[in-house]
Amino acid sequence: MAQKQPDLETLLDYLKRTRGFDFTGYKRASLERRIAKRMEAAGVRTFADYLDHLEVHPEEFSGLFNTVLINVTHFFRDASTWDFLASTVIPDLIARHPQGMPLRIWSAGCASGEEAYTLAMIFAEALGTEAFRDIVKIYATDVDDDALAKARMATYTEREVADVPADLLERYFDRMDGRYVFHKDLRRHVIFGRHDLIQDAPISRVDLLVCRNTLMYFNAETQARILNRFQFALNDGGALFLGRAETLMTHSSAFAPVDLKHRISTKLPTRNVVTRDRLMTIAQNGSENAAEAPGGDRTRIREAALDTAANAQLIIDAHGSLVFANEHARRLFGVSATDLPRPLRDLKISYRPLELRSVIDQVSISRRAVTIREVEWLFASDEVRWLDVHVAPLTEPGGAALLGVSVSFIDVSVGRRLRADLEQAKHELETAYEELQSTNEELETTNEELQSTVEELETTNEELQSTNEELETMNEELQSANEELQGTNDEIRARGEELNELNGFLESILTSLRAAVVVVDADLKVLVWNDRAEDMWGLREEEARGKHILGLDVGLPIERLKQPMRSALTDGDGHASLKLEAINRRGRPIEVQITTTPLRTRTKAVRGVILLIEDGERQASDGGTQVGSAAKRAVKRVR
């Protein structure tokens, strides 16, 4: 962890005390970068000096907060994630939502509102605009007042709405003066307000909470505190939508993932209410009191309970007659209604699946229950079953007199088969025991190594998560800088277009002039050589440009121009005019009128000389001279 800088902490404490902005929970690396950017613009070098600068220049606070609070957001940012939200999460949310209840959505860290209006569009698409207006409330919050002011206006440039699908752009935006305005009737249901995730109480009873690429600016402790507030804010089963660099690794008990790739989770219930059915056992023997039902009802209830019991049951009275057989016993042993009441000795059940009479006599004499284990019984379908037979005495309260005997048949076939399987498995396990013991020792050693590796991986994973958040933070900073550069680039492009237009205008003037125009710099190197000069002296522009004018081999006595050009460069005293005899490119002698004019910058400094050369036989009229003056002014503007 990076060492905290005392001067930076003092600056952060000052911002919290004087302006109410608590940046102490932000990651120090990104804070230092953002604050350093403002310090560079302000021309200070240390955090202590910057604090002094803030005290003297309170207007700097606005620039600082706009720099630290990086408002990088777009409509439908990460389009595939919004598609998943619209196609899977929102339909499920709507289907589970109680009818008639308001549907509450919170966009935390909404910046300039694009995310909140994206939510409005996809909910309006899912519900229809009428239902949207009836039940949906979107709360959009941020700490940046300037961003919130822009969000409330809901007005965006063509570039800002570039990611909105064309059909949604047409349905939900109005175009006004080259900008796009979100529909007013839906905008009323998006409520913007200032909210600090660290200090302010969360909005409650929220069904969907969207907080994308905001948590990554905070340190781990602050993230945990904010996520606890999000858990409080969400209804049970509500959805949490985070940014692509943010995870809930340490909050798995509070949120369950819906889709890890898209960073969408659902809030787990805060308490598990387990409903246990109460089993009412109706006992055959029990005390009676005034609260019980009449005797006939009690008897029917008891008989119904016995009849539906899970185990087969017979009841034999004290005289040895079968007085009751429940449904399970009748089905298992083929006992019919005509067998009641008949002496047990007359029925097959008395000796199949075992000799019952002797056991019943034993129980009747000893008054103690007897259990015979795993009695084999061949069922009607030739299926072998094993039964535990439990014979118990039925006595009056207090055990004074014997009323009869209860015989219960408990099917333990599954258990017997399981035991057989277990015996076989035991034998196999004993055979493999020695190998497993050896393997176990190796596994223990491997387990220790794996445990150490897991701890290292967990540490590495936390570092990678922190690095990922830091990279995403830097990415947003770069996006913010890119947007600034795009604005600058647009200005440069506009100025370039203006310059190209001006150059084109200049070239058209120079091409249209009947006089030769030559422009040289302070070193007397040719800058401009127009078409008339090329026609007059037979030297192309690319051959003349950049060459020293006194070194050009043309039919013009250039040495005679040396003094007027030097005079224009050194004195800058205006125009000079002279006539010279020359020979044109066709070898014909001509008389030329040459005018020298200083080439000045906007600050009036002389940076070269303009030579206007006119053929004496074809000198222009006063109008032509005016055109020449216009050309000189155009050259002056461009250069």
275 in a structural domain: no
On whether both 104 and 253 belong to a single domain, the answer is yes
- Poorest-pLDDT segment among 163-177, 249-263, 320-334, 593-607: 249-263
Amino acid 252: pLDDT = 64
- 600 CB-near residues (< 8 Å, 6+ apart): 572, 606, 607, 636
Supply φ then ψ for residue 65, to 5 degrees: -65, -40
d(CA 533, CA 570): 25
Q: Specify the CATH number for the domain of residue 86.
A: 3.40.50.150
Q: Which helix (H) or strand (E) holds 638?
A: helix 622-638
Q: Which of 387, 411, 435 is the last residue of a domain?
A: 411
Q: Which of 267, 288, 323 is the last residue of a domain?
A: 267
579 in a structural domain: yes
**175 pLDDT higher than 90:** yes
**37 pLDDT higher than 80:** yes
Amino acid 217: pLDDT = 83
Please give the average per-residue pLDDT across 65-84, as a whole number. Answer: 87
Beta carbons of 51 and 14 less than 8 angstroms apart? yes
What percentage of the chain carries pLDDT values higher than 90? 25
- CA quadruple 16, 473, 42, 64: dihedral positive or negative? negative
CA 400 to centroid of chain Cα atoms: 78
User: What is the residue range of 405's domain?
Assistant: 298-411
On whether both 345 and 382 belong to a single domain, the answer is yes
Q: 236: which 2 tokens?
A: 């049970």
**485 pLDDT higher than 70:** yes
**138 pLDDT higher than 50:** yes
E-only strand ranges, 463-605? 516-521, 526-529, 576-583, 589-600
Q: Which of 492, 511, 530 is the last residue of a domain?
A: 511
Q: Specify the CATH number for the domain of residue 362.
A: 3.30.450.20
74 in a structural domain: no
On whether both 255 and 338 belong to a single domain, the answer is no
CA 260 to centroid of chain Cα atoms: 10
Amino acid 302: pLDDT = 63
Q: Within 241-397, where are the H helices?
A: 295-307, 327-333, 356-366
d(CA 544, CA 502): 23
Please give the average per-residue pLDDT across 303-319, as a whole number. Answer: 79
291 in a structural domain: no
290 in a structural domain: no
On whether both 140 and 163 belong to a single domain, the answer is yes
Amino acid 348: pLDDT = 83
pLDDT for 390-423, tens place per residue? 999 988 776 667 888 999 988 887 877 787 788 8
Q: 152: which 2 tokens?
A: 């409330």
pLDDT for 235-244, tens place per residue? 999 999 998 7
On whether both 94 and 17 belong to a single domain, the answer is no
Please give the average per-residue pLDDT across 514-531, as a whole number. Answer: 89
The residue whose two tokens read 């906007």 is 602
Amino acid 473: pLDDT = 72
Amino acid 169: pLDDT = 95
On whether both 387 and 241 belong to a single domain, the answer is no
On whether both 304 and 356 belong to a single domain, the answer is yes
Q: 116: which 2 tokens?
A: 């909140």
Q: Specify the CATH number for the domain of residue 36.
A: 1.10.155
**117 pLDDT higher than 90:** yes
**628 pLDDT higher than 60:** no
Beta carbons of 356 and 346 less than 8 angstroms apart? no
Amino acid 287: pLDDT = 37
Amino acid 115: pLDDT = 94
- pLDDT level of residue 131 (50, 70, 90 thresholds): very high
pLDDT for 246-292, tens place per residue? 776 666 678 888 988 888 999 988 643 332 233 233 233 333 333 34
Please give the average per-residue pLDDT across 540-563, as a whole number. Answer: 88
286 in a structural domain: no
Beta carbons of 252 and 260 less than 8 angstroms apart? no
Please give the average per-residue pLDDT across 316-322, as a whole number. Answer: 87
On whether both 25 and 98 belong to a single domain, the answer is no
Amino acid, res. 608: G
Query: In degrees, to the nearest 5, what angle opens at C-alpha 428 toward C-alphas 423 and 431?
Result: 130
Please give the average per-residue pLDDT across 9-31, as a whole number. Answer: 85
Per-residue CA distances from 479 to 36, 299, 472, 476 (Å):
18, 83, 10, 5
Q: Which helix (H) or strand (E) holds 186?
A: helix 184-187
Q: 325: which 2 tokens?
A: 């057989």
On whether both 310 and 344 belong to a single domain, the answer is yes
Amino acid 624: pLDDT = 44
On whether both 185 and 251 belong to a single domain, the answer is yes
On whether both 517 and 434 belong to a single domain, the answer is no
**135 pLDDT higher than 90:** yes
Q: What's the chain's average pLDDT?
A: 82
β 370-378/342-343 pair status: unpaired
How many domains are there within the chain? 5
- Exposure string over 106-129, b if 16+ CB within 10 A, otherwise e: bbbbbbbbbbbbbbbbbbbbbbee
284 in a structural domain: no
What percentage of the chain carries pLDDT values higher than 70? 86
pLDDT for 298-309, tens place per residue? 556 666 777 777
288 in a structural domain: no
On whether both 485 and 427 belong to a single domain, the answer is yes
Please give the average per-residue pLDDT across 7-30, as a whole number. Answer: 86
